[in-house]
Structure formats: structure tokens, C-alpha cells
Amino acid sequence: MILAASRTIVRRDLLLALRRRSDVATALLFFIIVASLFPLGIGAEPNLLRSIAPGVIWVAALLSSMLSLARLFAGDHADGTLEQLVLSGAPLGVVVAAKTLAHWLVSGLPLVVIAPLIALQYDVASDLYGVLALSLLLGTPVLSIIGAIGAALTLGLRGGGVLLSLLVLPLYVPVLILGAGAVEMASVGLSSSGQLLLLGAMLIVAGVFAPWATAAALRISLE
């Protein structure tokens, strides 16, 4: 029953995202534009571009993933669906996990796919593309999971978007440091396995505990 409910929620949210393709395209275009502005503003100095590439791409991905956080629960809250999900037989933590997975598939996975193309603008060595994609593959789900807590806490609040940013940005800093650090370590010929393993550990811990924290925050926001 739980797996069936999870599949249904993921499928539903993906179908809703397909109907609102402009929202998905906005986040992706924001990532492309932000990451592309730095080479234009800094100039065509290859060594400088290569040195800043991991940090710039990760910051752009982080900001892009935040654009759709406010809509994670807002639509369901506005039409009453969220209350029905809370009262359904499925555990609310499982419901939250399914909605967060759908959010990442829509807003995070496209960033992982397009990041190596963005790295071309920074003259990043081709053997670093795999490390960059893997760091984003491990890190962007953590951004969605942590962001879901902030989205639940600010649900229905006036000016919630600004408050959401203030809540989640400090929590994103370790992910940013580890994700960009993995690529930087690989670029100087050192092993990036330490940073990648820490990202994987953060993903496991966040995936196990954060949905239940988000569920508690949703119950508080709905009271």
C-alpha cells in the first residue's frame, strides 16, 4: 500500500509538472544563464575559469533548485489536496518523500544532465565531467530534501519565499562545500572519494530523517 501510494504521488506530481512546463523551464534557464554570465563577466582567462568552475556551477545549481521550493506544497495547500493527503492512510513522511522525489526529478535531475555542457564554457577537463555530474547527483537530492523542510515551515506565510531562503541557505552550505570540493580535488589530481562519500552519507541521513521532520512541520503549518 505504501509503495503504491508513493508511486501514485510521484506520477501525479510529474504529470502536474508537465502541465506547468514553463516553471520547469524557468529553473533550468536560470541555471544556464547564471552559470553562463561568469565567463562573460570575468573574461576568457582559461586558468581562472577552470579554478572557479566548480563553485560557480554548484552555486547556480543551488539557487536554481530553490526557485521551485515554494511551490512544493503550495499548490496542494491551495486546493485542499494537502489536507486530504494528511488524512490519508499513507504515513505523511512517505507522502513527503514521494513529493520530494518528484520535485528532484523535475528540478534537480535536469541540472545533473546539463552541468557537463555548462562546464565546457569554463574549459573544464573532460575527465572531470563524471565527478561533477556525480557530485550533483548526490548533492541535489539533499538540497530538495532539506528545502522541503523549509517549504513546509513557511507554508501559507506572507513573504514566505524570503523566509524560506533565509532558513535553507545556511543548511545548504555543507552540501555546496563538499560538492564543489569534490571537483576541485579531482582537478588537482587528488582523490575526490572522501567528499563524494560524505555527500552520499548526507543523502542517506537526510532521506531517512528529513521527511518525518517535514511531515511534522506540515502538521504545524496546517493547524
Confidence of residue 65 (pLDDT cuts 50, 70, 90): confident
CB 103 within 8 A of CB 72: yes
Residue with the three cell numbers 526529478: 105
Q: Residues 6 or more apart from 70 whose CB is under 8 A from it?
A: 151, 154, 160, 161, 164
Length of the chain: 223
Q: What is the pLDDT of residues 88-142, one digit of tens each?
A: 777 888 888 999 999 999 988 999 999 989 988 888 888 889 999 999 999 999 9
Q: Residues of the chain with pLDDT > 70: what percent?
A: 99
CA dihedral 5, 19, 133, 119 (to 10 degrees): -170
Q: What is the pLDDT of residues 93-102, one digit of tens each?
A: 888 899 999 9
The CA R_g of the chain, rounded to the nearest whole Å, is: 18
